[in-house]
Chain A
Amino acid sequence: MGKLFAVEIIYRGVFQKTLAKNITRGIVLAARDEGKFGLSFGRYGDSPERNGIPAKSFAIVADDELTLEAGMAQYEPKQVDLTVVLDDTLCKGAESWAWYGLQPVHHALKPGSTLVVVSLQDAPALLKTIHRREEPYKLGVLKGVTSFSGMWVYKDDHTDVRVLGAIAKALPEVVSLKAVEQFITEKLKNALKVTSAKTAYDRFKPMDVKPGEGNPEETFKFEFPGWTNMRQGVSIKGQPQGGPYRDPVSLEVGGFRPARNELFKKYSTRTERPVVNFATCTKCTLCWLNCPDASFDVTPDKTYDANLEACCGCGVCEAVCPVENCITMVNESQFTDNKSQWVAYREDKDAYLKWLEKTIKSAEPVEKRSYGFRYRGQYKEQAEEALEIAQRG
């Protein structure tokens, strides 16, 4: 038996579906040019794939056909030689299958292997969110704007070929730069893309991550029901009704917090979160009423607090809010916890408002991403800007 290599792409469901497919397909076709055998396939964090949900795509490459077939017999590679994270907010963890709870992004990465993250931030900043692990690994950042598009229209901003360039540097046993260049020239027929891949290859310099380095937090876990404690037939427990809760400062009880699904929390399905200016809130109810995820708690003083275990970051609340700058969607990379904003506001108003201003401002450099199609011609404009940023490095 020859050697089998596996590459895992962690991406945002639907938003990056085509991008992930292009990359794994590219790996296999480039490896084939060098006489290897490969297969690319997708597997969703949840099936069917939904917008924003962490999802995975794989490429397996082998020296000979028999080894490839042995690899194909596995539902998904248990260990991978390289992991690519296409959206840096996924560094907080991905739920690779519904029963698993959150897993660190390097969960399947072999010791000493490379984790590639597409991000505008640098590696030390990303390590604040990437969980600790006992084995060492390498972390390399591919500087670039997170590339999001949608089901039908693809944003061709060279992210796919740039990732291929970085893979050629980190894992030349699977694809060499020559093979990547040949694949782009022959299949994609785009000289500029060859340059993009080559530049990414030249610039890609991963850093060593020592054992124990990174985010000390435990990932979100819950108790899995076994078959012995499942109910008869196919019935499951419904949701109880929520109720009022206590203001931490005045100790007054009021408002309303709904009961929520304990087995699925949206921590890793979110790419941005709403931050609320409670001082300018007019209590109009619109964010609460129009939230498809019922994620707003009605606070005892009748404002609305986005509960971050339930918010998936769609941005509808910001869109419907009639007060300017009352609700602002901010990139998830700016936050390290999921605590209540309203409690922080109640405890110290001035400090909260200062934090609010600072957070929105500090997110600006990483806010260059967009979350899908809004108008025609948008992707062309954004691709040009993204290419410029990629060139600067």
Chain B
Amino acid sequence: MTTTFVEEKPTQNLEPFKGVKKVPYEEYFTSGHRTCEGCESAQIMRLMAKAAGPRTIVLGATGCMYVANTSYYSTVWGVPWMHTQLGAGGSSALGTAAALRVLMRKGVLKDEPINVIAFCGDGGGADMGLSAISATMTHPDYNLLILLYDNEEYGNTDIQISGTSPYGVNTSFSTPGKVKRIMHHRWKKNVAPLILAGHPTCKYVGTISTSYPLQAMNNIRKALSIGGPTFIHCLNPCPKGWDFDPYIAFELGELAVNTGIWPLYEVENGKLKLHGKTEQIANGRFKRLPVRDYLLKQGRFAHFTEEDIAFFQSKVDEMWEKWLVPGVIPLQKDLEG
């Protein structure tokens, strides 16, 4: 028998919630934060804390979910939480998990499985903190989850472009001009596949949406139960930066999935599983809604012409028609062979 020198520790075995009525009442991220009306990023914090339960430590990189939730000598966290620097989501999770192990080995803390979750926004996770997350994902020994909550912009500093901002979007850095209409012409970074393809050590990668709360919580519970370094990417409609009536926050999350822009899937030990409508789209059982249904409900795309909408649609079509793994892996199939 070979020795791998990997020292794995058991995790909490978190069974999935079997239906919305089985979701516990306890809140570990409660009311009284200073987020916007209809803030879906706050909602994923709440769901994440609910899913993980009381034996959890949360680390938070700078962003809305740091500033708005711990303002002015008060907090809404019901589990231990610590702020960490913008780029330090990955390293703080790794360091905390390692420290817990040492303290338990030395008998300072009771030896028990404790969830370690670091969350970061798209600025902290997809831009600045990407290298630290990447390094963390290569460590097989520690049980931790990185949750990237993605509102596709730097929301806390009044809406600048991030690596996950969609094509053509209006932000403080890309105000549409009279001569040049589209001031942001990069395509959204595809973060979850970046993590899963580049880090074979990572045992679980998933995408979730706050508009599918039960699935989101169960995926978080699964990631925490599987252990090792795990990663989840969540799309959160942002009423402030996306410029929409907070009333439609939930609907926009659904539309992102139903138009095929935001595929929901998980990859557990290398095995891909598509979820819900995404699975139906992939198997031809649900016809993708046109992206215009999603784009025209948001003020950030109000400058889009028919041509821009058509281009956006063609890029989404490409995801589903040409990619090797539709909606997930952007390698293109060799259509000739």
Contact = CB atoms under 8 A, between A and B. Distances in A.
Interface of A: 14, 46, 48-53, 98-99, 149-153, 225, 230, 236-242, 255-256, 258-266, 269, 284-286, 289-295, 298, 307, 309-310, 312-316, 318-320, 329, 370-376
Contacts of A237: 75
Contact of B31 (A260, A286, A329): A260
A370 B244 CA distance: 11
A263 B72 contact: yes
B329 interface: no
Contacts of A370: 245
Nearest to B236: A292
B241 interface: yes
Interface stretch (B103-111, B186-194, B296-304): B296-304
A51 B54 CA distance: 31
B36 interface: yes
Interface residues on B, range: 35 or more
B72 A99 contact: yes
Given A260-B30, A314-B38, A316-B246, A374 B297 contact: yes
Given A230-B73, A261-B75, A284-B20, A152 B243 contact: yes
Contacts of A266: 31-32
Contacts of B77: 238-239
Contacts of A52: 36-37, 246
A346 B244 CA distance: 37
Contacts of B243: 150-153, 372-373
B62 interface: no
Closest 10 CB pairs between A and B? A261-B32, A310-B31, A314-B38, A51-B36, A256-B25, A315-B247, A372-B245, A150-B243, A263-B74, A292-B43
A157 to B, nearest CB: 16
Contacts of A309: 31
Interface string B11-40: 000000000110101111111111111111
A373 B244 contact: yes
Nearest to A292: B43
Please indicate which of the listed interface residues B32, B36, B72 has the most CB atoms of chain A within 10 Å of its own CB: B32
A240 B54 CA distance: 11
Contact of A239 (B37, B76, B159, B244): B76
B201 interface: no
Nearest to A311: B31
Interface of B: 20-21, 23, 25-40, 42-43, 46, 54, 67-68, 70-81, 156-159, 170, 210, 213-214, 239-241, 243-251, 296-300, 302
B275 to A, nearest CB: 18
Nearest to A258: B27
B46 A294 contact: yes
Contacts of B73: 225, 230, 236, 263
Given A285-B20, A316-B246, A294 B27 contact: yes
Given A153-B243, A261-B32, A292 B38 contact: yes
B251 A319 contact: yes
Contact of B21 (A285, A293, A314): A285
A314 B249 contact: yes
Chain B interface SS verdict (over half): loop
Given A51-B239, A153-B299, A373-B298, A290 B250 contact: yes
B44 to A, nearest CB: 9
A326 to B, nearest CB: 16
Nearest to B45: A292
Nearest to B44: A292
A236 B31 contact: no
Contacts of B246: 51-52, 314-316, 371-372
A14 B75 contact: no
A62 to B, nearest CB: 29
A236 B214 CA distance: 31
Given A290-B213, A316-B38, A259 B78 contact: yes
A290 B214 CA distance: 10
B49 to A, nearest CB: 10
Given A266-B31, A298-B25, A315-B247, 14 more contacts: A150-B243, A230-B73, A236-B73, A238-B81, A239-B78, A260-B32, A261-B31, A261-B76, A289-B23, A290-B210, A292-B249, A319-B250, A371-B37, A374-B245
A238 B33 contact: no
A99 B54 CA distance: 30
B33 A261 contact: yes
B35 A320 contact: no
A99 B40 CA distance: 26
Contacts of B30: 239, 242, 258-261, 294
Contact of B249 (A262, A316, A329): A316
B74 A264 contact: yes
A318 B73 CA distance: 32
B27 to A, nearest CB: 4
A151 B240 contact: yes
B70 A292 contact: no
Contacts of B33: 261, 264, 293
Nearest to B79: A238
Contacts of B300: 151-152
A53 B43 contact: no
Contacts of A264: 32-34, 71-72, 74
Contacts of A265: 32
Nearest to A153: B299
Given A152-B170, A262-B74, A374-B245, A46 B239 contact: no
Nearest to B70: A236
A382 to B, nearest CB: 12
A263 to B, nearest CB: 4
Contacts of A316: 38, 246-247, 249-250
Please indicate which of the listed interface residues A48, A255, A285, A320 has the most CB atoms of chain B within 10 Å of its own CB: A48
Contacts of B46: 292, 294
A255 B25 CA distance: 8
Contacts of A290: 43, 210, 213, 250
A316 B157 CA distance: 25
Nearest to B246: A314
Nearest to A49: B158
B10 to A, nearest CB: 25
